Amino acid sequence: MKHPSNQKRLTTYLLTVLFVFLAAHVAFAAGAQPATGDRDVLSTSRESLTFLVISDWGREGIGDTDKKTPGQLKVAHQLGMTARDVHAAFLVSCGDNFHGKGVPSSTDSLWQANFENVYADNALMIPWYIALGNHDYEGNVDAELAYAKSSNRWIQPARYFSFTKQLTDTSSALFVVLDSSPFVGEYLNDPSDAHHVKGQNTTAQVQWCDSVLRTSHANWKCVFFHHPAYSASTKHGSTPEMQKTFVPMFEKYHVDACFSGHDHDLQHSRPDNATVEYFGTGGGSETRPAGVAGFTKFSKASLGFAVVSITPHMLRVNFVNELGLQLYSSRYHAVTSSGVREHCGSTALTSPGRVAAGMCPTSAMQHYATRTNDPRT
């Protein structure tokens, strides 16, 4: 006969095993639900700077494919939940904040219908850094700039601007917001000037961008603009004007990632021999066919947005849809002592919602250029 205390210990042990087993099953079952399991993976260290990127959203709560589906509201709901879970510090919009004919004034009711009433979650009461899209240009751009003067969260000091966030005492990230519409030939050559782009000084903007990127010693450089340099969508696709004017500059000054909208999908592109990553974040309210091209790393006609986390050593971009499912994850290490930025891997999820905790490979992928002269080293 066993000693009573041994029996008690055995009983306690068996109960503990049973509890752990049941707890694991409960956790697994919860993980199978899109709204809970995914955010464990999305949750980031409080030491990292995490922000969200969303574009092409202003539709009075709906998506305009059938004028009934509340695409914007669905994404907004998930945007708020995710912002809370990842401790998002700010958002960036890559434009088309007001579809149709933009917004006529800074007091128009569209401010409530497109923005305030839709993104009312407390977790979204954080700075929104705003880029302009072609639809914003069809309205009154100055109305958006004026709204920034009275809003606590609408940050738009000019048509293009930059800001820097410190990651630690000795490391930082640079964020550049460009105004791409005045570069697009289709708008410039429109005799009716429906996009009101005539008169914008594109030379000044190019010189300004060159100066900001050249003089920055930030560990990471991210650039945001509406018209994608690279996109596989058959609706709009790549923007040759952005490729010609800005891509060489991005390469020259070692920009890490660009974010755009315009095409209504989620995409990751990187042409051969390029070192800059291009992310399409146009899933703010409706979807259109996304397409695939030679530079495509990921492409999906999906509602959603990007969750970006930055530490001094790592940049991670995740695409999340309106259900909270992670569709894609791409991770990069900062420039190392060998002068190479390492790509830790990109994962398109066949079973959305589960992302393995990816580890960086020991050797850098060949397509990343050596950056021995990079000031960040």
Looking at the annotation, which residues are catalytic? 236
Asked if 269 contacts 301 with a C-beta cutoff of 8 angstroms, the reply is: no
Q: How far is the CB of 161 from Zn ion (least distance, A)?
A: 20
Reading the block at residue 180, the tokens are 């791409």
Q: 134 or 347, CB closer to Zn ion?
A: 134
Is 59 a residue that touches Zn ion (CB under 5 A)?
A: no
Residues within window 77-106 making contact with Zn ion, judged by CB under 5 A = 96
211: which residues sit within 8 A by CB, 6+ positions away?
none
Q: How far is the CB of 262 from Zn ion (least distance, A)?
A: 4
Q: 55 or 216, CB closer to Zn ion?
A: 55
Give the sign of the dihedral formed by CA 227, CA 232, CA 236, CA 238: positive
226: which residues sit within 8 A by CB, 6+ positions away?
55, 94, 95, 96, 131, 132, 133, 134, 180, 181, 260, 261, 262
Q: How far is the CB of 105 from Zn ion (least distance, A)?
A: 21
Q: How far is the CB of 32 from Zn ion (least distance, A)?
A: 37
Cβ-closest position to Zn ion: 262
Residues within window 117-156 making contact with Zn ion, judged by CB under 5 A = 133-134
Burial of 154 (0-12, 13-18, 19+ CB in 10 A): buried
Q: Which stretch binds Zn ion (CB under 5 A): 3-11, 257-265, 304-312, 361-369?
A: 257-265
Q: 54 or 86, CB closer to Zn ion?
A: 54
Whole-number Å distance between alpha carbons of 10 and 231: 62
Q: How far is the CB of 283 from Zn ion (least distance, A)?
A: 13
Q: 48 or 269, CB closer to Zn ion?
A: 269
307 strand-pairing partners: 52, 318
33: which residues sit within 8 A by CB, 6+ positions away?
none
Q: 38 or 96, CB closer to Zn ion?
A: 96
Return the residue of 262, 264, 343, 376 that touches Zn ion, per CB under 5 A. 262
Coil/strand/helix, residue 309: strand
Chain residues that interact with Zn ion, rule: CB under 5 A = 96, 133-134, 262
